[in-house]
Amino acid sequence: MVKVCSLTCESLENPLGLPTMHPRFSWIIKTGINSAFQQKYHIEVSEQDCVVWSSDVIESGQSVFVPYTGKPLQYATKYLWRVKVCVADMWSEWSEYAWFETALEKWNADFIEADDKPEESCVKTFRKKINISGELRSARIYATALGLYNICLNGNPISDTLFNPGWSAYNSRLLYQAYDVTDLFTKNSNVLTASVAPGWFKGDFGFINNRSYYGSKMAFSSQIELHYADGTYECISTDDSWQFSDSPIIYTEIYHGETYDARKENAETWKAVTVSPSTNYNIVPFDGVPVRRKESFKPIAYFTTPKGEHVLDFGQNIAGRVRFNVRGNSGDTVKLRHAEVLDREGNFYIENLRDAKCTDLYILKGAGIETYEPAFTFHGFRYVCVDEYPGELDPQDFTAIAIYSDMKNIGNFSCSDSLINQLHSNIQWGLKGNFLDIPTDCPQRDERLGWTGDVQVFINTASYLHEVQAFFRKWLRDLAKDQMPDGGVPFVIPDILNNLKPDSDNVILNEKHSSCGWGDAAVVVPWTLYIHYGDKRMLEEAYPSMRGWVEYIRSKAIDNLWNTGFHFGDWVALDAKDGSHFGATPNDLCATAYYAYSTELLAKTAEILGNSADADEYRLLHSKIVCAYQSEFFTSNGRLAARTQTGHILSLMFGLTPEKFMARTIDTLVELIEENGGHLVTGFLGTPYFLHVLSQNDRLKEAYALLQREEYPSWLYQIKKGATTIWEHLNGILEDGTMRDPGMNSFNHYAYGAIGDWLYQVVAGIVPLEPGFSRILISPKYGGTLTNVEAELNTPYGKITSAWKLHDSDFLLNVKVPPNTNAEICMPNGETYTVGSGEYSYRCKIT
């Protein structure tokens, strides 16, 4: 039996407002047939029961990113599609229908404004009464805002998505969402309300107390498309017929929290809006992943601290907010403050939040049980301090809700070591806590920015954990928009630094863009996504940005060495000087190493895209950089000039070590581990590759020892200190329980979680041999004290599993290979097998 399932269009399930008129289709095959390969496929696309394109029977094994090649699609139109395939001369039934709906041809609605002042952080509500004159066939709301918006129709939310329209490079592209509201309209009179908050557009923002970076006034814009059963059509857009009023949300800021006065509900005073043209903004369809409420947590404890604070412990550090029930009198208040950790004495610790207040205040209206959840803010927290509450508090009235972009979980890992399992969980929660529309550095303090360096080091691990292609497709488009004219890449995307005045006390505001390892995200991220998903179109789109970055470095390099400009280098490495965050590895070594790496990836990309001239040029440039690096940083006897762990790691990982000095370089790296008591002292640039370099150079024992070390500094040290996410510093909490410098001490910072890909690629042994996992290597490496491992990964072709265990002197391996792929199975004793799809078991002796 052959079945087709998991249909996606542009890697999205049933997308509404698809931001391309040239969609591509993907599907997964399920069958019990071993070595199953698709021989043929047949796609049908229909619109209102009329087939608009039939591919006919195509002899092809392609089941990922199959392009639509029919007649031009219509804008704002819903299409159904289905597919059937032939495997082993056996045709499947037609799949169930999936659908996609194209976006608007162009944005026609104006913005409407209220009377908010630049310094105000309130919410304004816009209103429009809509009369439905007949039976609706379909109704759509398209909406965007300068700020964040929520829409209700007749008092009911039209969507469960949050933080719309999202954060993009607003000055270059403002996103809009599309909503199917056909079933929410009633005949005759309806009321649509849209609440708009300052959000990223107008609110307090950045770690330098900036405000109104993009604009000083909120606004809302919407087109409502009504199609009636009798064939008539009506479009209602934001104009001067709309009204506005104050909201019960009298204060809201992403960093500081929200104040809601329930006494102001149903007490609106409606006024005329001001109309402003939308032509100043490039308004385009939303192309990311919507933010939603995800997991929820009940308190695991409610206690009083030594200082007398009343604290709820939700057991997991998350990004999100708290929903609660309360009963009291009108004017009573509930005040909640949020924090990630307790201090050594067990008191509520907020110093690391810097200027972020992270406080929610609810003022009761006094009408029985009242339920509240903030609407336009989020916090990074595990603990909540209840400063004010009427009556006796029941912890079960409180629920913490994790909020992040709704990416599918695709990877799972477990093993015989409970601490490693917790490490995997911490890595995953680090991703969840920081992938809220953009990939932030941290979710708690007055920052929460899209730092490129964090993304660059973590992208491979992220791609093993969640379906992140669409998430990063949006972010890369903003990177390209915010990229400097000379190809330089801002430190953060979207960029909120380059238009700020320099500050002699803040090196980041003086430099603002183009550090090695940070700007390289322009190359490393699209390349890594290509390896995981096989999407050549994404490489094509990113190529100008990739090339621009390498050309920027070339313009700054001297004799093929990048030894100019500002660099974060091996950021927050433990071998830094006291009081410094800059690691001991010289910046010119780090920068030239990344120059070589990005140039090599660019040459490979040019080759894949058929640009042979560029491929030849960048291969030649890469060879020159390698020669310059080896001449500058290696002595004639093979000593690396920088005697640091990261210097040796980068030299080995990026293929910069002369072949004849490989043994000396890896031996010295092992010596450096021993000299530091068996620990790592690397930072952002060295840590992600540490275990890879060891395992690739026959030092698996040392790699496992680093992974499983529990003493400080190590990954597991954090867990022994109670971490449920990855910390910004390995020593965020010192061995004596005190905190390190609170000025930069996030307890949810995913960069050091980049080690997660080693768990999948080496411990479980799942590696793509071809982009998108069309060919797979399964080559697990046992070691340390582990006795069993189970891992699975949902790829574009289906689920891969790798599960091994040690039994006496035997190594037992069970694997599952999805249809339409093949795999190379490598056992620890060197035996290899080439297989197609199916489930297989292997056994070998170990010494």
**Active site members:** 447, 728
Contact by Cβ (8 Å): 410, 794 = yes
Token pair for 159: 């969507």
**Location of structure tokens 């399932």:** 5
Element (H, E) at 708: helix 700-708
Question: What's the gap between Cα 280 and its chain centre?
Answer: 29
Return the C-alpha torsion angle 503, 505, 507, 510, nearest 10. Answer: 20
Angle at CA 542, nearest 5°, toward 539 and 548? 130
Return the C-alpha torsion angle 709, 715, 719, 723, nearest 10. Answer: 170
Distance (Å, rounded) from C-alpha 22 to C-alpha 530? 19
At residue 172, the 3 state secondary structure works out as coil
For 169, 316, 435, the CA distances from 438, given in Å and listed in that order, are: 11, 22, 6
Token pair for 479: 């990177």
What phi and psi, each to the nearest 5 degrees, are found at residue 224?
A: -110, 115
Distance (Å, rounded) from C-alpha 786 to C-alpha 77? 54
Distance (Å, rounded) from C-alpha 687 to C-alpha 681? 8
Sort strands 24-31 and 2-9 into parallel, antiparallel or unpaired. Answer: antiparallel
For 139, 209, 448, the CA distances from 124, given in Å and listed in that order, are: 25, 23, 25
What phi and psi, each to the nearest 5 degrees, are found at residue 57?
A: -85, 120
Sort strands 210-211 and 204-205 into parallel, antiparallel or unpaired. Answer: antiparallel
Token pair for 228: 């009636």
Neighbours of 539 (CB within 10 A): 20
Distance (Å, rounded) from C-alpha 517 to C-alpha 687? 12
Local structure of residue 759 (DSSP, 8 states): I
What phi and psi, each to the nearest 5 degrees, are found at residue 518?
A: -95, -60
Neighbours of 131 (CB within 10 A): 10
DSSP state letters, 200-261? HHHSEETTTTEE-SS-SS-EEEEEEEEEETTS-EEEEE-STT-EEEE-SEEEEETTTEEEEE
